[in-house]
Chain A
Amino acid sequence: MVLDPAHGGTDLGARGTEGIRESEVLMAFAAQVRRALEAQGFQVLQTREGNENPSFDDRSARANAQRGAVFITLHIASTGLAGTVRTYVMPEIPVVRDPSGLIPWDQAQAPFQTLSHKLGDMVQAELAKRFKGSPDTAQIAPIRQLRTTAAPAIAVEISSVSVEDRADLDRMVPGVAEAIARGVAAFRPSYVVPVMPGTPMVAQP
């Protein structure tokens, strides 16, 4: 499992009127998701452990260097109905290989889209049980971080930094962590790494 607490460093992410900063809240959020996943028997890596801001490609590379990884990028929105959570997956990307047989880096997600949709729907189904007003299935959005990730990959976004009290967000985190861990555990039996003859690695520019 590769967990990606988004933003970091000078990139604070979404900022609420009450001073809530997405990049800070996400570290505590990621720690709880990590514990929940480890309790399910998963090995977990993080794209950042502190207040640094790796590039999109560096974050994707953490997952792309593993075989059989699952990638989850964590976000807190500026908007949306407070107390709801949404899972996002990429829209369809045509699978294109260059003459060498390698998959271009910026289309790395293409072979994993079916798996990503399945994972997204399973995680969102768990989230919808716990957070009223959340959608029942994964939403589709062209998210930069997911496009270069060669693994089943989803984004999970909580609403929102606009709450008056950070405790409102903190109270959501255990439920979100549990929902993600259960969703990934349910997805695990169906995860077969796509066979791509002659394409053992993704071509990074």
Chain B
Amino acid sequence: MNSSWRIWLFGGLLAAVIAAALYFPALRRQVYKAKTLTEKTAEQARRELLPVAPVDTGEPRVKAKMFWGSGESDGTLVPVTIDLPLSSDPTLRAKQILNTLLAGPVDPEVRTLPPDAALLAFYILPDGTAVADFSESLANSIPSGIQSEQLAVDSITRTLEANVPQVKRLKILIHGQEVDTLAGHLDLSQPFQVSGAPAGAPPRSSISILTAPVKKAYERVKGAAKR
């Protein structure tokens, strides 16, 4: 091997090392960026498509009172009592309650919230004000009108009032943002009073057994929790 060939080999290897040293940080940045994007997209998709199902924490089952529509087109709510394994932690309990409210019933005449709406986040401030962040579907898919928007909000506030006494007021966000109205009518800029007199019509009767659609929705939630 003559010296000229060795010089060429050494030069080639040196150039390859320099090129790799220059390219490696850029490659690392690209891989990191791709990983972040993938994670973000997956998280967004999960938050958009999959309501967080109530988790069976091993807590004893208690009777939860859910406020769904009466199904009589008159804008009234009816309390429905169902057995749920609810947490004693107020925040987790509120999430379980709201996800059950969102999950059922499947009967569109009785539903108060759009079937594709999801709870994205929920927390309770020390003064008893709760903040519930819902996906955009809550605003986009709800029938526009004063009566329908009020029915949706009343079903949320009255269900929280009946099951999570720590919540005194409720501020509703849509996809993390403060918005003026739910769907053009009901004011979301101010918190809603939860404990005390609700804005909607009083319940007319109490149902202590599961109706077929409610039972179906409940089984769906229970199945999701097991998964």
Residues of B within 8 A of A145 (CB): 185
Q: How far is the CA of A82 from the CA of B74 in the complex (A)?
A: 10
Stretch at the interface among A43-51, A117-125, A154-162, A166-174: A154-162
One digit per residue, 1 when the CB lies within 8 angstroms of any chain B CB and 0 when it does not, for chain A 78-97 equals 11111000101001000000
Is A106 located at the chain interface by the 8 A CB criterion?
Answer: yes
Is B43 located at the chain interface by the 8 A CB criterion?
Answer: no
A24 CB → nearest B CB, Å: 14
Residues of A within 8 A of B185 (CB): 75, 141, 143-145, 155
Is A7 located at the chain interface by the 8 A CB criterion?
Answer: yes
B186 contacts A143, C-beta separation under 8 Å: yes
Q: How far is the CA of A56 from the CA of B179 in the complex (A)?
A: 13
A77 contacts B148, C-beta separation under 8 Å: yes
A-B interface contact total, Cβ < 8 Å = 78
Interface size on A, residues (CB 8 A): 32
Interface residues of B in 66-111 (CB under 8 A from A): 72-75
B150 contacts A160, C-beta separation under 8 Å: no
Q: Which residue of A lies closest to B201 (CB)?
A: A139
A134 CB → nearest B CB, Å: 10
Q: Which of B143, B145, B151, B190 is in CB contact (< 8 Å) with A142?
A: B190
Q: A141-B199, A144-B185, A144-B189 are in contact. Are A157 and B180 (CB under 8 A)?
A: no
A204 CB → nearest B CB, Å: 16
Residues of B within 8 A of A140 (CB): 199
Q: How far is the CA of A14 from the CA of B184 in the complex (A)?
A: 10
Q: A80-B73, A80-B75 are in contact. Are A142 and B187 (CB under 8 A)?
A: yes
Interface residues of A in 11-63 (CB under 8 A from B): 11, 13-15, 22, 56
B68 CB → nearest A CB, Å: 14
Q: Which of A81, A91, A106, A141 is in CB contact (< 8 Å) with B146?
A: A141
One digit per residue, 1 when the CB lies within 8 angstroms of any chain A CB and 0 when it does not, for chain B 147-159 equals 1101100000000
Residues of A within 8 A of B143 (CB): 14, 77-79
Is A182 located at the chain interface by the 8 A CB criterion?
Answer: no
Q: Which residue of B lies closest to A12 (CB)?
A: B144
Q: Which residue of A lies closest to B146 (CB)?
A: A157
Is B137 located at the chain interface by the 8 A CB criterion?
Answer: no
Q: How far is the CA of A14 from the CA of B186 in the complex (A)?
A: 14
Q: How far is the CA of A13 from the CA of B145 in the complex (A)?
A: 8
Is B181 located at the chain interface by the 8 A CB criterion?
Answer: yes
9 contacts between A and B (CB under 8 A): A14-B145, A78-B143, A79-B143, A80-B145, A86-B146, A141-B186, A141-B199, A159-B73, A160-B145
Name A residues whose Cβ lies closer than 8 Å to a Cβ of B.
Answer: 6-7, 11, 13-15, 22, 56, 75-82, 86, 88, 91, 106, 133, 140-145, 147, 155, 157, 159-160
Q: Which 10 A-B pairs have the closest CB atoms?
A: A78-B143, A77-B145, A144-B187, A142-B187, A14-B144, A79-B148, A78-B145, A81-B73, A144-B181, A141-B150
Given contacts A78-B145, A142-B186, 4 further A-B contacts (CB under 8 A): A7-B184, A144-B186, A155-B146, A159-B147
